[in-house]
Amino acid sequence: MVKDLILKNRSYRRFYQEVTIKLETLKELVNLARLSASAGNLQPLKYILSCDPQNNALIFPHLAWAGYLKDWPGPQEGERPSAYIIILGDTQISQSFGCDHGIAAQSILLGATEKGLGGCMIGSIQRQELRKTLKIPPRYKILLILAIGKPKEAVVIETLKPNGDIKYWRDNKGIHYVPKRSLDDIIVS
Ligand SMILES: Cc1cc2nc3c(=O)[nH]c(=O)nc-3n(C[C@H](O)[C@H](O)[C@H](O)COP(=O)(O)O)c2cc1C
């Protein structure tokens, strides 16, 4: 069921790093993005796939994790993602990418969830440094990175408290809570 899949598809930031992900699996996931909607059917998105530890280690330092968890610097060694999909915009096809990369990212993460994996969209990226490290040609805009792995944390959705605070938080057992606005709150008419 789509609802079950969407409920399970949370942003996970701690993983069983030792569980490897095959390149073929990443290709299957990108194929879901390939089949998804694209404005004007331009299909300007391109992808860099990474699933080997050496390459993953080049990407990780350029990502920022869970900005609201001020005293958590991100996943420690052993709990880092096993793979990354870097979503690029090909400026030789289009100069603007609209919401294509959001749609692609959701398709990929839903596919990952169906496979028993999980991940997190990362938009907070040191783009210049990552471009240099991976030698990404200037023609490609770095849009979004998907961190993927076997989730090692519990994520619970809760209803927004009356104070309206949208910040996610963790309890002392490490359970990650994500406040969501109620349906009544988001339907204007
Ligand atoms: C476009 C976009 C960019 C995001 N960038 C980051 C990021 O840089 N770092 C991070 O830890 N989470 C990032 N997230 C994950 C959000 O924090 C997460 O979606 C939100 O807390 C809600 O949790 P949920 O995905 O489990 O519903 C991003 C999400 C989106 C949609």
| Most ligand 1 atoms within 8 A of CB, residue of 84, 121, 126, 168 to mutate | 121
Confidence of residue 106 (pLDDT cuts 50, 70, 90): very high
Confidence of residue 86 (pLDDT cuts 50, 70, 90): very high
Q: Can you give the pLDDT at residue 3?
A: 97
Contact 92, 114 (CB under 8 A): no
147-161 tens-digit pLDDT: 999 999 999 999 999
Q: Cβ of 76: how many Cβ atoms within 10 Å?
A: 10
Atom in ligand 1 nearest the alpha carbon of residue 155: 26
Q: Can you give the pLDDT at residue 4?
A: 97
Q: Can you give the pLDDT at residue 167?
A: 98
Query: What's the DSSP call for residue 62?
Result: G
CA separation (Å) from 106 to 23, 37, 52, 144, 188?
Answer: 19, 11, 23, 11, 24
Residue type, 54: Q
Q: Can you give the pLDDT at residue 63?
A: 98
Across the range 118-144, mean pLDDT stands at 98
How many whole angstroms from 65 Cα to the centroid of ligand 1?
A: 9
pTM higher than 0.75, yes or no? yes
Ligand 1 binding site (Cβ under 6 Å of any ligand atom) = 10-11, 13, 64-66, 120-124, 155, 168, 178
Across the range 54-73, mean pLDDT stands at 98
> What is the residue with the minimal CA distance to atom 23 of ligand 1?
11
How many whole angstroms from 124 Cα to the centroid of ligand 1?
A: 9
Average pLDDT, the chain: 98
Percentage, residues of the chain above pLDDT 70:
100
3-state helix, strand, coil in the chain (%, to 5): 30, 25, 45
Q: Can you give the pLDDT at residue 17?
A: 98
Q: Can you give the pLDDT at residue 186?
A: 97
Q: Can you give the pLDDT at residue 15?
A: 98
Q: Can you give the pLDDT at residue 94?
A: 98
Q: Can you give the pLDDT at residue 81?
A: 98
